[in-house]
Amino acid sequence: MRTESQKLAQNTPFETSLHLFHGEMSGPVVMIVAGIHGKEVGSIYAAQQLVKQLRNHRLTIQRGTLIVVPIANQPAFKKRVRGKPDLNRTFPRSRGGKATHEMARALFSVMKKYKPVWYLDLHEANGLSSKSKHVLGQTLITNPGNAAVPVVRKIIKQMNKRVNHPSHKFHIRLHKLKGSSRTAAADRIHAKAVTVETCWSLKKKTRIKYHTQVVQRFMQEAGLIKF
Ligand SMILES: [Zn+2]
């Protein structure tokens, strides 16, 4: 496995690290972004741990390439706030549209360059999806008709088999959110694009665990790792 690190939005307040892990064999590109919302720390720590594990060779990419941006919105993360404007509404909204935020521009240029087959955006939300249809905690979200749908359903099934608390069970949501990185990845890059949402009210350790498990299942599904 070959490892590379780059800086995005260099010499700006948004400067952040981009990590690339190339497997020995060719295969798909999977891109994982966390911290588009700076206070969703469970997702950020999970992405940071993933990078650490790969750097320490406790986890290896066998084929393809994994791209990880653990902290997409550095100024928001430093203050532990969601971020204003909401970075996840500033990605290109239409075919010819442009990103309206320098960090969205930087992330979208990575998407255009590497053309990920899979795009995962890690978040945390209020409420438990097992209790209400109107909340996003413990959900995997993709766009209606996205090629990710069957895999999302499969991974939710696998996750829910092992989730001990019934209230922690994951559910699918199908939604097109204009200006979000997921919808830009789906519409403009034709990626299988998924937002992973854990629930705020769970312990940080639990949220990190769920993010890690979901991400590893997608990496396995894409053929990057073997369990
Ligand atoms: Zn979020």
State pLDDT tens for residues 149-172: 999 999 999 999 999 899 999 999
Structure tokens at 173: 């949501």
CA of 21 to the centre of ligand 1 (A): 25
Query: Which residues line ion ligand 1, judged by CB < 5 Å?
Result: 37, 40, 123
CA of 89 to the centre of ligand 1 (A): 11
Taking each helix axis as running N to C, give the angle between helix 181-188 and helix 102-114, from 0 to 180 degrees, rounded to the nearest 10: 30
pLDDT tens-digit readout, 2-37: 999 999 999 999 999 999 999 999 999 999 999 999
Find the 25 Cα to ligand 1 centroid distance in Å: 33
Architecture of domain 2-221: 3-Layer(aba) Sandwich (3.40)
pLDDT at residue 88 greater than cutoff 70: yes
Residue 26 Cα to ligand 1 midpoint, Å, equals 32
The two most distant CA atoms of the chain are separated, in Å, by 46
Residue type, 62: Q
What does the pLDDT read at residue 227? 61
Residue 226 pLDDT class (50, 70, 90 cuts): confident
Give mean pLDDT, residues 184-202: 98
**Cα 19 to ligand 1 centroid, rounded to whole Å:** 21
Q: Is 85 helix (H, G, I), strand (E, B) or coil?
A: coil
